[in-house]
Chains A and B, each alone.
Chain A
Amino acid sequence: MHPSFSVIFFTTLSGLGYGLWIWSASALLHYGSQRGVHYLMPLALGALPVTVGLLSSVFHLGRPARAWRAFSQWRSSWLSREGLLAVLAYLPWAFIVWSALFGQGVPAWAMKVALLALLLLSLAVLACTAMIYASLKPIPAWRHWAVLPSYLGFALLTGGLAAATVYAVSEWPGRVAQYGLPALALLMGALKWRYWRDIDREPLPADRASALGLPAGRQASVFERPHTEANYITREMGFVLARKHGRRLRLIALLLFAVLPAALGILAFLPASGPSALLLGLATACALLGAIVERWLFFAQARHLVMLYY
């Protein structure tokens, strides 16, 4: 599949934003929202990557001005569900930020409900994004069980590191960040390793004989293509550039999103290492860059069944 950069930026960047919302909403639910304004910072800042990501996805459309129509078909379409929930998630966010700034009289339970809504909506948007891909039968690699957990995992990893960076500016971010995030980084490495191993071995669910309606086992080779130049199908579904560098890029991605964030995360909490916010910031940047390489491979290495005809 052709790796479109707008979609890669959308899924990784807004993934980081939703991860920020999930972690910071959980922290506020756990410690209570009166803890101090710096606890609100990651939650408020999370809207930035979420919005930039969503805008980037809108501009990859052929007709961005009609994007509002995508809210209508949530009964059947994961893309529609994603769009709808992404907009809905702004409501609790706006309520939380507004009441933190101006709403002195807002009851604690209303804040809790809003935080819980933000947490669940963020998780739901991430799940919808993953399901857009996981529901496509013509792309067998995306049907793998690890697709949904890895979309959630990358959001939690990059968002968690970003949240820990912001918390670390003012105080110690807590034990979850100290042990949880390096462990999550390594877990994501193992998950992707398994995914890559499986998609390399898994045979396609259909062969050319079946695509052409020939009896099973008849071998057909391309004698002449229908068109002399590339067309939309071969450009969009027949992307082959990455396969040459696939192995090396996988190792680079693993280094960036698993090994380096885990090492930097552990280093950041050593008593001797000084400014932990700086190291955590570096870990966040590495993880995001690694997620971008991983997402690029996710597209570039996925084979579409229509290429059986070519």
Chain B
Amino acid sequence: MTSLPSQPGKRKLGLVIDLDTCVGCHACAVACKEWNAGGIAGPLSDEQPYGRQPSGVWFNRVHSYEVAASGDQPAMTLHFPRSCLHCEQPACVTVCPTGASYKRAEDGIVLVDEDKCIGCKLCSWACPYGAREYDAVEGVMKKCTLCVDRIYNEHIPEAQRQPACVQACPSRARHFGDLGDPDSAVSQLVAEREGVALMPELGYAPVNRYLPPRPRRAGSPEEAQAEAAPGETLDTRQLNPLLRWLDRALSR
């Protein structure tokens, strides 16, 4: 049923991604691809993997940006992992004509039943976050499952019952938990770091949160001054007499 659950559950499982500590190593994307290629959403088909134009389905893409200096904040790089946000108002679900897309009432995970998908691609058009990728080999739409086949899996050790991307992250930039519970570790992290939802103005109410980069220290006043004044300045009064003479001689 592509109508949204009438009684949304309290549990809202999702990810919290720390843009301050993400180093852009793509380990999450690779671990995701590896697990999900064999998981319930698998295979994640690749076309021409070793050919001229390799192309394939990934649930997680890591973008890198250069953020321009602004006010007292210096320019910086920003690594940005992009994946399904498991929205509370997922238009990708309601536009689905077949009932293949659905949102689970019990934990809020948005999934695709690939046996029902007709591959019309309308759900991917309805997502502003680019979370859904079409599998041209299988003829169906694929998306992040929040590793639903890991997080409830009793055949793996309890410590590993987390999405593959969270497990793989070497800088602990990814956190998994219940964002519907204000006392959960992830909710507290979001509160503490003032985590944000992406493009909230569109009204999809994403569950995942991103923790913005911490304010950067501006550096020493001399550095700031050097940056502000074009060219190098030399205070000759600070120099010893020999160097002062050398400066005068060289300045002629």
Q: Contact check, B203 vs A137: say whether CB atoms are below 8 A apart.
A: yes
Residues in A with CB closer than 8 Å to B124 are: 232-233, 236-237
Q: Contact check, B202 vs A205: say whether CB atoms are below 8 A apart.
A: yes
Q: Contact check, A306 vs B129: say whether CB atoms are below 8 A apart.
A: yes
Residues in A with CB closer than 8 Å to B64 are: 222-226
Whether B98 is near chain A, meaning CB under 8 Å from some CB there, is: yes
Residues in B with CB closer than 8 Å to A218 are: 67-68, 70
Inter-chain CA distance A233–B133, complex, in Å, is: 7
Which stretch of B76-84, B176-184, B233-241 is in the interface? B76-84
Inter-chain CA distance A139–B80, complex, in Å, is: 23
Least distance between B124 CB and chain A CB atoms (Å): 7
A interface, how many residues as a size bin?
35 or more
Least distance between A151 CB and chain B CB atoms (Å): 16
- What 1/0 mask marks residues of chain B from 151 to 193 whose CB sits below 8 Å from any chain A CB? 0000000000000000000000000000000000000000000
State which residues 43-99 of A face B: CB under 8 Å. 60-64, 66-67, 69-73, 75-80, 83
Of A61, A72, A223, which is within 8 A of B65 by CB? Answer: A223
Which stretch of B7-15, B49-57, B222-230, B242-250 is in the interface? B49-57
Q: Contact check, A210 vs B212: say whether CB atoms are below 8 A apart.
A: no
State which residues 199-220 of B face A: CB under 8 Å. 199-204, 210, 212
Whether B27 is near chain A, meaning CB under 8 Å from some CB there, is: no
Q: Contact check, B95 vs A79: say whether CB atoms are below 8 A apart.
A: yes
Residues in A with CB closer than 8 Å to B67 are: 214, 218-220
Known A212-B78, A229-B55, A231-B133; contact A138-B66, beta-carbon cutoff 8 A? no
Q: Contact check, A136 vs B125: say whether CB atoms are below 8 A apart.
A: yes
Whether A170 is near chain B, meaning CB under 8 Å from some CB there, is: no
Known A79-B97, A135-B95; contact A211-B198, beta-carbon cutoff 8 A? yes
Residues in A with CB closer than 8 Å to B21 are: none
Majority-rule SS of A interface residues: loop
Whether B140 is near chain A, meaning CB under 8 Å from some CB there, is: yes
Known A62-B139, A226-B62, A306-B128; contact A69-B68, beta-carbon cutoff 8 A? no
Residues in B with CB closer than 8 Å to A63 are: 117-119, 139-140
Whether A193 is near chain B, meaning CB under 8 Å from some CB there, is: no
- What 1/0 mask marks residues of chain B from 87 to 128 whose CB sits below 8 Å from any chain A CB? 000010111111110000000000000001111111011111
Residues in A with CB closer than 8 Å to B4 are: 76
Residues in B with CB closer than 8 Å to A230 are: 53, 55
Residues in A with CB closer than 8 Å to B31 are: none
Whether B146 is near chain A, meaning CB under 8 Å from some CB there, is: no
- What 1/0 mask marks residues of chain A from 198 to 222 whose CB sits below 8 Å from any chain B CB? 0000000110001111110111111
Known A136-B126, A138-B127, A232-B133; contact A206-B202, beta-carbon cutoff 8 A? yes
- Of all chain B residues, which has the CB nearest A208? B65
State which residues 7-42 of B face A: CB under 8 Å. 19, 26, 29
Q: Contact check, B126 vs A217: say whether CB atoms are below 8 A apart.
A: no
Known A62-B138, A237-B130, A309-B130; contact A226-B95, beta-carbon cutoff 8 A? no
Residues in B with CB closer than 8 Å to A245 are: none
State which residues 254-307 of A face B: CB under 8 Å. 304-306
- Of all chain A residues, which has the CB nearest B138? A62
Q: Contact check, B97 vs A70: say whether CB atoms are below 8 A apart.
A: yes
- Of all chain B residues, which has the CB nearest A234? B130
Least distance between B188 CB and chain A CB atoms (Å): 18
Q: Contact check, A232 vs B57: say whether CB atoms are below 8 A apart.
A: yes
Q: Contact check, A69 vs B116: say whether CB atoms are below 8 A apart.
A: yes
Least distance between A289 CB and chain B CB atoms (Å): 26
Q: Contact check, B96 vs A219: say whether CB atoms are below 8 A apart.
A: no
Of B3, B121, B128, which is within 8 A of A236 by CB? Answer: B121
Q: Contact check, A226 vs B29: say whether CB atoms are below 8 A apart.
A: yes
Inter-chain CA distance A79–B120, complex, in Å, is: 10
Residues in A with CB closer than 8 Å to B1 are: 73
Least distance between A77 CB and chain B CB atoms (Å): 5
Whether A132 is near chain B, meaning CB under 8 Å from some CB there, is: yes
Known A76-B94, A210-B201; contact A223-B77, beta-carbon cutoff 8 A? yes
Inter-chain CA distance A64–B200, complex, in Å, is: 35
Inter-chain CA distance A302–B67, complex, in Å, is: 27
- Of all chain B residues, which has the CB nearest A1? B125
Least distance between A262 CB and chain B CB atoms (Å): 34
Can you list 25 contacts pairing A with B, beta carbon distance less than 8 Å?
A: A1-B125, A62-B120, A62-B140, A64-B118, A66-B98, A70-B120, A73-B1, A73-B97, A80-B98, A136-B125, A137-B203, A138-B128, A211-B128, A211-B199, A215-B212, A220-B67, A221-B66, A224-B64, A226-B29, A229-B55, A231-B58, A231-B61, A232-B134, A233-B130, A236-B121
Report the 5 A-B pairs with minimum CB-CB distance, sorted nearest first.
A62-B119, A62-B139, A80-B97, A138-B128, A226-B61
Interface residues in chain B, defined as those with a beta carbon under 8 Å from any beta carbon in chain A: 1-4, 19, 26, 29, 53-58, 61-68, 70, 77-78, 80, 82, 91, 93-100, 116-122, 124-130, 133-136, 138-141, 196-204, 210, 212
Knowing that A62-B136, A76-B4, A310-B63 touch, tell me 18 more A-B residue pairs with CB under 8 angstroms. Answer: A62-B119, A63-B117, A72-B98, A73-B99, A76-B3, A76-B93, A137-B202, A206-B201, A210-B198, A212-B65, A213-B197, A213-B212, A222-B66, A226-B64, A226-B82, A231-B61, A305-B199, A309-B80
